[in-house]
A and B are shown apart, each in its own frame.
Chain A
Amino acid sequence: MYPHTHHQTNQPILDVSHLTIRYKGRVALENVTFHLHEGERVAVVGPNGAGKSTLFKVVSGVLQPTSGDVKIFGTRPTKHVCIGYIPQRSQVDWNFPVSVADVVMMGRSAKLGPFNFPHKRDWEFVNHALETVEISNLASRQISQLSGGQQQRMFIARALAQEAELMLMDEPLTGLDTPAQEGILTLLDRLKQEKVTVMVATHDLDQAASHFDRIMLLNHKMIAFGEPQNVLQTKNLIRAYGGRMKVDSHGGILVDDGCDDGEHDHAH
């Protein structure tokens, strides 16, 4: 069997203390400390290159911290299989010859162990996951035939089939149209009932404020972490975004976070 670790239920689902990461010769994260409560939804915001993806990779155990500690239910992440990492859609080979159900089944690989092929129970997990994200009808489609929103739902289903308790989503809303974004956000609300803890990297401060329990403002260091109204204050935003921010005529704040699509995010 592949390594597994049992959870100490009296410990927080995620506890990060004094985390520092040097990655490719640069300091990506410096002295970051926070912990999450089970079932909460946290938006991680900050300019491009602020270390959001790096944070997710350390939390999921794919990268090792240079110093400091990451604990999942009390132990290092490297043996936990309860962390679902949902990649940016641009980093996926959509022409890979697999169907939606195949991809969701990949989430079962760890539980199956080597030399095993999917059992009836695994297919039940996959089917249930596809139902939860409402794409059961697309199970046998090749993945290139999905819309952006459906692609994102497929990855959420894969994390569900993996029985993930902590989902890390790297910019799941980028490039989606508004209805698709709303669909994903509604789905995240529903995951709360399934006791799944969610961390979402996003550029949209409005959505972060309206759909998430807490917001983490990050720019290599932790700028602020807490409830939206406490975090999205001008002094914090200036510290996070620096010169890439203007106050518009209505007193709202315009943030140019260096997105490729040149979009501007608003916070009021």
Chain B
Amino acid sequence: MTVVMMESMTTLTNFLLQPLQYEFMERGMIAAVLVGIICAVVGTFVILRGMAFFGDALAHTILPGIALGYLVSGGARDQLFWWALGTAIVASLGIGAISKNSQIKEDTSIGIIFAGMFALGIALISTVRSYAVDLSHFLFGDVLSVSTHSLWLILLFGGIVLLVIFAFYKEFTTISFDPVLAATLRLPVDLLNNLLLVLIAVTVAVSLQTVGVALMVAMLVTPAATAYLLTHRLSKMMLLAAVFASLSGVIGLYLSYYLSIASGAAIVLTATFFFVVAFGWRRVRQK
């Protein structure tokens, strides 16, 4: 190899390795990749069932729960996961019940509740003096502050989510494609629907620190939608979505490090970039 090539190799290696000398960057990378994979797989069902708005609403609805946990625990971050998880599960089943028995249109009632709960969350957090900084962490994520403890929680609960999806893969596929068929096959449709809502709730709780409440829907929807443009098979779609999501996590964090931009925003922007490229590629190929 020439000296120039050697040098540029070393530069590239340095470029990639330098951020990782910080342990918080390393933990952030692992968190971003794990969260990316979980969101992508669950997100596949979210977009196929047209539940993007539900996912967005759910993420916002858990803010008062997080706020309450924040006030009760006096700002301890590690406990917030449990508050987020509890609120998310209650909220997901609650929203699910509302959308089934609603007098007014489903998206209207979801919209009212999600904005109301979100406002309640902001009101609660605003009682604390350092509220602007904390609020922005909940809203947009703070992946670089992920502790080793949080990482284990993400791995554990994310693992459970993926396992349940794997175990009920054919059932979830059937109820998503043709609910009437699922009913005539006597699958427990209501139970499976609620199970899926709970899975989305756990995913939201697990992803909270990485992308935050406001950007959550992007992690659920964008990588899955990118994969949807590129393949016609569900299993491949999940795999591709997971690849795009983890790549977005890694690339996003490098961008965040070198350009000094907010980590959550950098991850989501990278995922959006992949989507735009896939969209363009499909348009060109179809002509």
Contacts and interface: CB of A to CB of B under 8 A. Distances in A.
Nearest to A158: B181
A33 interface: no
Contacts of A85: 180-181, 184
A84 B184 contact: yes
B167 A114 contact: yes
Contacts of A87: 178, 180-181
A96 B186 contact: no
Contacts of B232: 97-99, 142, 144
**Chain B contact residues: over half helix, strand or loop, or mixed?**
helix
B177 interface: yes
Interface in A101-140: 102-103, 105-107, 109-110, 112, 114-115, 117
B186 A78 contact: yes
Nearest to A59: B184
Contact of A98 (B167, B173, B184): B173
Given A85-B180, A97-B232, A99-B232, A2 B185 contact: yes
A162 interface: yes
A62 B177 contact: no
A115 B236 CA distance: 20
Interface in B183-201: 183-188
B234 A81 contact: no
A83 interface: yes
B145 interface: no
A98 B188 contact: no
A20 interface: no
B287 interface: no
A25 B167 CA distance: 39
Residue of A80, A92, A109 with most chain B CB atoms under a 10 A cut-off: A109
Interface string B219-235: 00000000010011110
Contact of A109 (B48, B176, B187, B228): B187
Contacts of A80: 186
A248 interface: no
B189 to A, nearest CB: 9
Interface size class on chain B is 20 to 34
Nearest to A80: B186
Nearest to B192: A114
Interface in A1-56: 2-4
Nearest to B167: A115
A106 B186 contact: no
Given A62-B180, A106-B177, A109-B171, A98 B233 contact: yes
A65 interface: no
Contacts of B185: 2, 81, 107, 109-110, 162
Contact of A97 (B48, B168, B186, B188): B48
Interface in B234-256: 234, 236-237
A190 interface: no
Residue of A78, A102, A107 with most chain B CB atoms under a 10 A cut-off: A102
16 contacts: A62-B180, A80-B186, A84-B184, A87-B180, A87-B181, A96-B48, A97-B231, A97-B233, A97-B236, A98-B177, A98-B233, A102-B233, A110-B185, A142-B233, A144-B232, A158-B181
4 A-B pairs with least C-beta separation: A142-B232, A110-B185, A62-B183, A60-B184
